Amino acid sequence: MAVGIFDSGLGGLTVLDAVEKRLPEVPFVYLADSAHAPYGVRTADDIFDLTCSAVTRLFEAGCDLVILACNTASAAALRRMQESWVPADKRVLGVFVPLIEAMTERQWGDNSPPREVAVKHVALFATPATVASRAFQRELAFRAIGVDVEAQACGGVVDAIEDGDMILAEALVRSHVDALKRKMPDPDAAILGCTHYPLMEGYFQDALGSDVRVFSQASLVAESLADYLVRHPDMGGTGDSAFLTTGDPRKVSDRATQFLRRQITFQSA
């Protein structure tokens, strides 16, 4: 059984690391569309086309189930893919829903009407495309009422992380948190709506203050995937673990190795 993990770049490795630890018996095929990253500044149609192309490659690699470990793709392309593109014998899932379920304290598959929850003021940090899609607010409205969401488009953070410039990334995080807090001075919770951002979680937490609960996605997605595979044993797929990229395999391998602090070797997609 092989499960596909897709991201426009290396941020999805935070999800891969978590799901590998949670499901050590499952092989994963990771695809980074490094040649076209970042997605966060692209149009919705462009993101849709690129995501479909990447997911097709993962289907070809033997994956019946693909996780879009990219919030931008999940926000801008997933619903359209599920409604009009995904083959009947395949599944493509995103990373928003497990996070929202955790924040609203709902179990997976709880389709009861939306209700009031403890969290009232939520800060969302995400890429410009994710913010523009309003996908987070849409999914949240299915599950909760009375929650005020203030979104901050965090331009430049993904590029800085991908370039390995963590000093710039930290400065940008603090700048974006300051901008958010001018609009929402006292959030109850903060959503790190990009799979790159867990690498900066400590900086987000420090800038926001210890009384703000910060929700990050990797471990939540891992638990949700484990539950999904128990309930859908038919989504097995075939193939062995692999790392694929549309970019320069050597450069991407070097950055990924620094990213996860273990040897990662990418091949051309």
Answer yes or no: is 195 a known binding residue.
yes
Q: Where are the alpha helices (DSSP H) in 112-217?
A: 128-133, 135-141, 157-162, 166-183, 201-208
Catalytic option among 52, 63, 70, 154? 70
Asked if omega into 38 is within 30° of 0 (cis), the reply is yes
Known catalytic residue at 154: no
Determine whether the annotation assigns residue 196 to a binding site: yes
The residue annotated as part of the active site, out of 52, 63, 154, 194, is 194
40 known ligand binder = yes
* Distances in whole angstroms, Cα of residue 58 to Cα of each of 232, 264, 267: 19, 18, 13
Which element (helix H / strand E) includes 3?
strand 3-7
Alpha-carbon 223 to chain mean position: 14
Asked if residue 72 belongs to a known ligand binding site, the reply is yes
Letter string b/e over residues 159-180, b meaning 16 or more CB atoms within 10 A of that residue's CB: bbbbeeeeeebbebbebbbeeb
* Cβ–Cβ < 8 Å for 146, 173: no
Q: Is 194 an annotated catalytic residue?
A: yes
- State CA 64 to chain mean position distance: 19
Name residues whose C-beta falls within 8 Å of residue 43's C-beta, 6 or more positions apart in sequence: none
Active site residues: 70, 194
Binding-site residues for substrate, in ranges, read 7-8, 39-40, 71-72, 195-196
